[in-house]
Copies of this chain bind each other. A is one copy, B any other.
Amino acid sequence: MRTHARICLVLAALSASAGWRQALATGPAPLPSWNEGPAKSAILQFVGKVTDETSPDFVPVKDRIATFDNDGTLWVEQPMYTQLVFALDRIKALAPDHPEWKTTQPFKAVLEGDLAALKTDAKQSLLEIIAATHAGMTSEEFAQTASDWIAQAKHPRFKRVYTECVYQPQLELLEYLRSSGFKTFIVSGGGIEFMRPWTERVYGIAPPQVVGSSVATKFEMKDGRPVVMRLPEINFVDDKAGKPVGINQHIGQRPILAFGNSSGDREMLQYATGGDRPGLGLLVYHNDAEREYAYGPAGGLPDSKIGTFPQELMDEAEKNGWVVVGMKDAWSRVFPAER
């Protein structure tokens, strides 16, 4: 048989088996930015067994659900949650239309950069800031505002837009999971409508596959146009025990892989690893002050309110066999920009 005919047969066989995409997608070796070690091995072993039809742990494609926290798991969350930076920036941008903010808390504190004053009643401050910056417009207007902001705002340390402060190893993992038949979801405490405008472009995760916290909304006709209005009222907090609830509501299936980085992800990992099927729980552990940040039990910020990782979570990870992914050792490269 001539060479070109052989090649053609191979191509035809690959198309017929529908395996060619996977073969191309996984390429030479998956997860190139993951160092050889226990975390990478655990992932490869897990994906290997759930995709192997001859394994007792085989999971059909329709049930391969993977859920990822966002802040601190897919992108940087220090020194402040990105969405909080956005909210504070919005206060500053809207201030000219609200002269009363100069003398009213929490706005006065934001405008004066007096973050200590915000902490006296942090919860109430946050609710008022959300009401002022995240409500009173249509969903589409908010999506545009978030898109415009995320396109230009830069991280104070890395001097890059926030969507370039995502973790390269996690982009590879998302792609590897999808090429292995998984559906990948974000399940974040962050605002669902703050993330959706850019998650497909950045993570390959389409809007319907984003789960997050939300404000209440209302359908109405506005200037003759049917719109969904955002109201100054919390609808759902997708954190802690809210994560399995959000997963059940949006996805309707128990994940078999869940990746988080803080005590806000504990219940999601319990849920993913506590079903009848095999389940893999993973936690990013931020122990890399040089390339990113160090916080949590062994870090420089043991009491960080952002990405809280108490010793109890470390203990529970060990007890449950969750994989603690220490950034310093597990990842050969942290950000895409290092390519």
Contacts and interface: CB of A to CB of B under 8 A. Distances in A.
Most interface-central of A20, A245, A249, A267 (chain B CB within 10 A): A249
Contact of A208 (B11, B14, B253): B253
A217 B248 contact: yes
Give how many copies assemble into the complex: 2
Interface in A165-190: 183, 185
Contacts of A250: 208, 250
Given A210-B252, A244-B219, A249-B214, A226 B11 contact: no
Report the contact-size class of chain A (Cβ under 8 Å from the partner).
35 or more
Contact of A244 (B5, B12, B228, B245): B228
Interface stretch (A47-55, A78-86, A192-200): A192-200
A235 B251 CA distance: 16
Nearest to A143: B252
A207 interface: yes
Contact of A248 (B139, B221, B244, B274): B139
A19 to B, nearest CB: 11
Contacts of A332: none
Contacts of A219: 241-245, 267, 271
Given A8-B9, A252-B193, A226 B244 contact: yes
- The 8 lowest CB-CB distance pairs between A and B, nearest first, are A8-B8, A207-B252, A15-B15, A226-B274, A219-B244, A219-B241, A226-B270, A11-B12
Interface of A: 2, 4-5, 7-9, 11-12, 14-15, 20, 62, 139-140, 183, 185, 192-193, 196, 200, 206-210, 214, 217-221, 225-226, 228, 235, 241-245, 248-254, 267, 270-271, 274
